[in-house]
Amino acid sequence: MDKPLVPLTKVLLIIWIILTIPGGILFMVWDDFATTIVWPPPLDPIPVFNARLVGSIAFATGIAALMALRANRWSAARPIIGSYIAVSITAEYVTIREVIGRAGVVTPQSWLYIVLGIFYLVSCFILWRQQEPSQEKVAQQPAQMKP
């Protein structure tokens, strides 16, 4: 049973679209965007190639989120939501490790990454439970007869 998207799923997709499509384009075309805005000193600068690669991946996931939102089906959104969970966990690890490793030197961007990552992790697990059919509902559905 392919359910339409619940409001929380739509909100997460919209936030992701707003962040990743313009952000991905900026990473790809504005070399200083990564080192002055996203990873400012005292964080180590990111090489231009890596910034452009991150931008292309961000842009692509934004387009995938846009397509999932347009389809308005859980089966279309499930892979991108799964990638949010993976990105949130790994980004949280890297950011917290960086913050702890810097011994108190914390940029506002680092706090934004931490808060956004926690928001996405919690929201993704909540919406996953809302979107996925429970095992009882699946068991109650009559088996479809094959022709």
> How confident is the model at residue 81, as a pLDDT?
85
d(CA 26, CA 17): 14
Residues with Cβ within 8 Å of residue 55, at least 6 apart in sequence: 23, 24, 25, 26, 27, 28
For residue range 15-29, what is the model confidence (pLDDT) as tens digits? 889 988 999 999 999
Q: Tell me the per-residue pLDDT of 107-129, one tens digit each, with 9 for 90 and over.
A: 777 777 778 888 888 888 888 88
| Residue entry with tokens 């231009």 | 48
Mean pLDDT by 10 residues, the chain (147 residues): 84 90 92 79 78 90 94 90 83 75 69 80 82 60 53
Distances (CA, A) of 5 to 12, 69, 126: 11, 8, 13
Residue 50 pLDDT: 87
Quote the pLDDT of residue 140. Answer: 55
Domain boundaries, the chain: 7-130
Q: What is the 3-state secondary structure (H, E, C) of the chain?
A: CCCCCCHHHHHHHHHHHHHHHHHHHHHHHCHHHHHHHHCCCCCCCCCHHHHHHHHHHHHHHHHHHHHHHHHCCHHHHHHHHHHHHHHHHHHHHHHHHHHHHCCCCCCHHHHHHHHHHHHHHHHHHHHHHHHCCCHHHHHHCCCCCCC
Cα Dmax for the chain: 67
